[in-house]
Every structure is written in C-alpha cells, then in structure tokens.
Amino acid sequence: MPGLEHYLILSALLFCIGLTGAIIKRNAVVILMCIEIMLAGVNVAMVAFSRFITPLQLGGQLFTIFIIIVAAAEVAIGLAIILALYRKRQTVDTEKTDFLKW
C-alpha cells in the first residue's frame, strides 16, 4: 500500500522532469509538453494531499479539475502563440527566438 510520501516523490519527480525539459529543450512544442508534465506533477500532489490529509473534503481534487481546465486553455493559447511564431519566423526553435532582449 503506497503512502503519501510515495505520491509526493512521484509528484516531485514529474515536476522536476518537466522543469528540466522546459529549461533544456529547444522545441517550443516540447517545452509546452514539459509544462504539462509539471502541471501533472502538481496535480498528483494535490490529489495525494486531498486523499491522505482531508479525505472527507474534496477541495484538493476539485482544485485539480481547475488546473486541468486552465492547462487546457493554456495549451490552446500556447499552441496559438507557437503557431504565430512559426508563421512569423519559420521556426519554433527557442535558440533562434531570442529577440526579447536589450
């Protein structure tokens, strides 16, 4: 029977994998996917806390639903931005989209 800590370790692992990917990957679409992994990690932690600490209340699980909805919206906007970027620059490589500087 896995305990809270196992879920939290899984959650932290997912978050770190996502974060690392978001930092090191060059493809904007992959970065977007990595962010989704980070959010999934957060969701795991939320559900785990809800299950182990406040089993009678569903606040944590409810919050997870919100996160999934917001993530869906975020993906929609993110993909739209990436699409626009691609149309403008013919690339989604973040190495080449460093025009937000001095």
Partner 1 sequence: MMSNIPEIVFWLIPGLPLAAFGIVFLGLRILRLKSGFAALLSVSATAASFGLSLWTGISMLSAPGTSSLDGFNWFSSGNAITVDIGLLINPLTAIMLVVVSTVSLLVQIYSIGYMRGDNALNRYFSFISLFTFAMLFMVMSNNLLVMFMAWELVGLCSYLLIGFWFHRPKAASAAKKAFFVTRIGDFGFLAAILILFSSTGTFSIEGIHQAAASGIVSSAAITWAALGIFFGAMGKSAQFPLHTWLPDAMEGPTPVSALIHAATMVAAGVFLVARMFPLFEYSETALSTVAIVGGITALLAATIALVMWDIKKVLAYSTISQLGYMMLGIGLGGPGVALFHLFTHAFFKALLFMGAGSVNHSTGTLDMRNMGGLARYMPWTCITFVIGALSLSGIWPLAGFFSKEEILAAALEGQPVLFAIALLTVFITAFYMFRAVFTTFGGSYRGRSKPHESSAAMLLPMLVMAVLAVCAGWLNATGAIDSLLGDGTKHAWTTGIFGVFTHSLTWISLLMAAAGIFLAWAIYVKRWFSAERISSRFALPYFFFINKYWFDEIYNIIIGNKLLNKGIFSFFEKLDERIIDGAVNGIARLTSSTGSFVRRAQNGRLQTYLLFFAAGLAILVLMMVIIS
Chain residues in the site for partner 1 (CB under 8 A):
19, 22-24, 31, 94-95, 97-102
In the complex, least distance from residue 56 CB atom to partner 1, rounded to whole angstroms: 29
In order of 36, 64, 89, the CA distances from 68 in angstroms are 9, 6, 30
Round to whole Å and give the CA distance between 21 and 91. 19
In the complex, least distance from residue 49 CB atom to partner 1, rounded to whole angstroms: 18
Q: Looking at beta carbons only, is 61 or 74 nearer to partner 1? A: 74
Q: Looking at beta carbons only, is 61 or 94 nearer to partner 1? A: 94
CB distance 50 to 61 below 8 Å: yes
